Every structure is written in structure tokens, then in C-alpha cells.
């Protein structure tokens, strides 16, 4: 199983009621308007690195996952803050699920950026950026 496949599997298990996508931004933007919120968008990876040590190779992939929900166009500040905080909590639940699964090295810190009223279908949330490292690798 690849890092991408495992991460998307964990997203689907953690958020069974959500619309989960594995896309680039352009295609995610088009797909979201046909799906129900909230959304978890696993963006196609931009890079990573392979570490070879003690006869094993371990993939380390830089990934980004957007956790988004609808807000009304021109939403007030409190509407956006509520949506942003709910999506930040979802990102935290995803990282906790990653750590509990055992497929990856534990994630101890991650970065996120805010997304306010963006995309064609007006959404607010967070973009989680993290490096996922295989725990076992391949011989």
C-alpha cells in the first residue's frame, strides 16, 4: 500500500460521513460543488524523500489535506471562525488517527494554513501540511 492510499483510507475511516477526495486543487474545486460538505481533500503530493538505512528504504512524503466546509458567501467573522475551528479540530482527529494506525512514524508537529471563503463553492477550513513517514519501509 502506498502512503497516498493509506492516508486516504484513514481519512475515509475517520470521517465516514464526509466527502473525501484525492485530487489536485483544480479538480477538487470542480468536484466539490457536486458533493455534500464537509470535505476532506487529499491533495496530490508535491514531493518527499526516500531514506535508505540498515537495508531498508522508507518513503517520506510531503502531503497536504484540506478540511473544508460550506459558509455563506460574505459570511460574518464568527461564521468563519466557527467553521475554521471545526475544521482545525478535524485535522487534529486525522493526525490522531494517523498516529494510532501504526503504518506511519508518529506525527508530533504539523503546520496548517487557513482557507477563508475560497473555491467556486464557498468554503472555509484549514490546509494541513505534514510529512508522512513509513514506519517499516521495504527490505
Is the torsion defined by CA of 86, 91, 94, 95 positive or negative? negative
Give this prediction's pTM. 0.91
Domain boundaries, the chain: 3-133
Return the pLDDT at 11: 97
Mean pLDDT in residue range 47-54? 89
Return the pLDDT at 131: 93
Tens-digit pLDDT profile for residues 75-134: 788 888 999 999 999 999 999 999 999 999 999 999 999 988 777 678 899 999 999 999
CA–centroid distance for 85 within its chain: 15
Is the CATH code 3.30.70 the one for domain 3-133?
A: yes
Nearest alpha-carbon partner for 128 in 82, 62, 66: 66
Q: How confident is the model at residue 22 (pLDDT cuts 50, 70, 90)?
A: very high
Amino acid at each position: 500500500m502506498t502512503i497516498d492510499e493509506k492516508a486516504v483510507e484513514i481519512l475515509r475511516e475517520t470521517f465516514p460521513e464526509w466527502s473525501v477526495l484525492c485530487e489536485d486543487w483544480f479538480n477538487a474545486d470542480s468536484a466539490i460543488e457536486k458533493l455534500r460538505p464537509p470535505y476532506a481533500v487529499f491533495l496530490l503530493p508535491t514531493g518527499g524523500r526516500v531514506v535508505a538505512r540498515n537495508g531498508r528504504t522508507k518513503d517520506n512524503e510531503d502531503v497536504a489535506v484540506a478540511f473544508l466546509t460550506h459558509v455563506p458567501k460574505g459570511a460574518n467573522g464568527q461564521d468563519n471562525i466557527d467553521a475554521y475551528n471545526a475544521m482545525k479540530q478535524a485535522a487534529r482527529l486525522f493526525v490522531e488517527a494517523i498516529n494510532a494506525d501504526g503504518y506511519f512514524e508518529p506525527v508530533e508537529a504539523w503546520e496548517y494554513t487557513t482557507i477563508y471563503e475560497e473555491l467556486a463553492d464557498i468554503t472555509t477550513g484549514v490546509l494541513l501540511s505534514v510529512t508522512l513517514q513509513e514506519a517499516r519501509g521495504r527490505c
